[in-house]
Structure 1
Amino acid sequence: MVHFELRSFLNVVNRVFMATITCAFACGGGLVGIIMGAIKGQTTETGLVRGSCVGAITGAITALQIMDMMADGEPFSKVALLHSLLNGKVFFEWVSPAVLKAYQWQASATEMSLSFTDIFDTDNNGSRGLSEDKINKLPIRIFENLSMMDQRDEEFNETNCVICLQDFKNKEEGRELPSCRHIFHLKCIDDWLIRQSSCPICRRDV
């Protein structure tokens, strides 16, 4: 009877210990994930809050996977993982790469979504665009002798406007974006810049 009670007590202690370790792993991984996600998110359009959330979830999941490896692995692997846990290296060596990979996927999906939104957004109120005064200050270019222009001007490599997909014509007015040197039909780019303040081709701010 005493042996059975002792065994039951040890099982309870073991479960509590494993639950505590699991929570510690999840919290540690989540904390590292929050830090990594926040750092990455703050530098892009994904944002600090969203980057932190992605990092926290990915970090916690990765930490739990490490916990499973530690529980099911060989004694040598358990010792190595425990040593890495004690000095904190396990979170940065295992969790950080997983968080960065998940964040890169999230950032790529976000950028793609934003690109499609920019192209097909017809209800934009113009709050992200440029004012007419700023647009009118951008340089205007007259297209002349287009057949010879490629040979004389290495900077000019467009033969059509990517907004309307129509070829440039001689004596036609176009507008050049000073930040990237891309050229468009005057009306096409002016209408675009009223809604968006970046280049339609490279997304560089005007």
Structure 2
Amino acid sequence: MLAMVGRVVVAVITCGISMVGSVLGIVIGLLMGLATECGIFRGAAIGAITGAVFCIEAIESFVNMWHAGESAKDSVSYVMDIISSLWNGRIVWEKVYPAVQNAVMSQMSMSISGAFRESTDPFETGGTRGISKNALDNIPKETITAVNYTDVVGNNSCSVCLQDLQVKQTVRILPSCQHTFHMACIDSWLIQHGSCPLCRRDI
């Protein structure tokens, strides 16, 4: 009887915490979707699933610790750490962020091979199209060092993938605005958009 009650309690706690993780994941996924232009709905879906799955795995780990004879102090401390991390969103962010980034990079890699083959519609009137391969190759590139790890306005991160610029990475510097991005990120962007992802200035 006690075992059944314990299972019910664990199930209720798991559902509650997974719902919290899912909601936090949706919020973080929405923000990531807006920032990376992978789509708010896609970002929210990835965030919801990732947040819920992480919370379920965390509860399962707690149950395994309890059954393995871990001290009550350690078990309670583990649960409190999970709750604290959920409250400030740290762990869910750490889980959702890579998932959304993987989706973005996957989307980029799928589109990059065919983007150069798209024909230009002479009657198209909507927005700035991507630039040609030759124009892309003419954009300056350089290797990040300890001296030049920021652009002209002091940014030290790539606005496409939101990752910091690291020493020895190859970047491109857009001639129109001098903003700096990882070469792979900005190449994937420019073949479709033809403008700076940060200030929207045409290349």
Give TM class, smaller chain.
Answer: 0.5 to 0.7
Paired residues, number: 142
Within 5 A, what are the aligned runs for 1:81-160? 81-86=78-83, 88-90=84-86, 92-122=89-119, 126=124, 128=126, 130=128
Q: Could you tell me the TM-score, scaled by structure 2's length? A: 0.56
Cα RMSD (Å) of the superposition?
3.5
- Identify the residue that residue 194 of structure 2 maps to in structure 1: 198
1:64 aligns with 2:56: yes
**Equivalent-residue separation in structure 1 for 2:55 and 2:17 (angstroms):** 5
Query: What fraction of aligned residue pairs are identical, expressed as a percent?
Result: 28
**1:121: how far off?**
2.7
Match of residue 27, structure 1, among 10, 16, 19:
19
- Identify the residue that residue 37 of structure 1 maps to in structure 2: 29
**Shift in CA distance, 18/94, structure 1 to aligned 2, threshold 3 Å:** same
Over residues 71-102 of structure 1, what are the superposed CA-to-partner deviations in whole Å (9 max), with x where a residue is unaligned? 1123343111222345x324623222011111
Listed as ranges, the gaps of 5+ residues in structure 1 are: 1-6, 132-160, 166-176, 182-192
**Which residue type is aligned with residue 85 of structure 2?**
K
Which sits farther off after the overlay, 117-126 or 57-66?
117-126
Which sits farther off after the overlay, 121-130 or 62-71?
121-130
Q: Give the match's secondary structure for 2:134.
A: coil
**Shift in CA distance, 27/129, structure 1 to aligned 2, threshold 3 Å:** same
**Shift in CA distance, 93/69, structure 1 to aligned 2, threshold 3 Å:** farther
* Contact 1:128-1:197 within 8 A present in 2 as well: no
Q: Could you tell me the TM-score, scaled by structure 1's length? A: 0.56
Match of residue 77, structure 1, among 67, 74, 84:
74
Runs of 4+ aligned residues of structure 1 deviating over 6 Å after TM superposition are none
* Contact 2:20-2:86 within 8 A present in 1 as well: no
Match of residue 47, structure 1, among 25, 35, 39:
39
**1:205: how far off?**
4.2
Larger Rg: 1
**1:128: how far off?**
4.6
Q: Give the match's secondary structure for 1:20.
A: helix
Q: Give the match's secondary structure for 1:43.
A: helix
- Which structure's residues are more often helix, by fraction? 1
**Equivalent-residue separation in structure 2 for 1:111 and 1:53 (angstroms):** 19
* Contact 1:128-1:196 within 8 A present in 2 as well: no
**Which residue type is aligned with residue 162 of structure 1?**
N
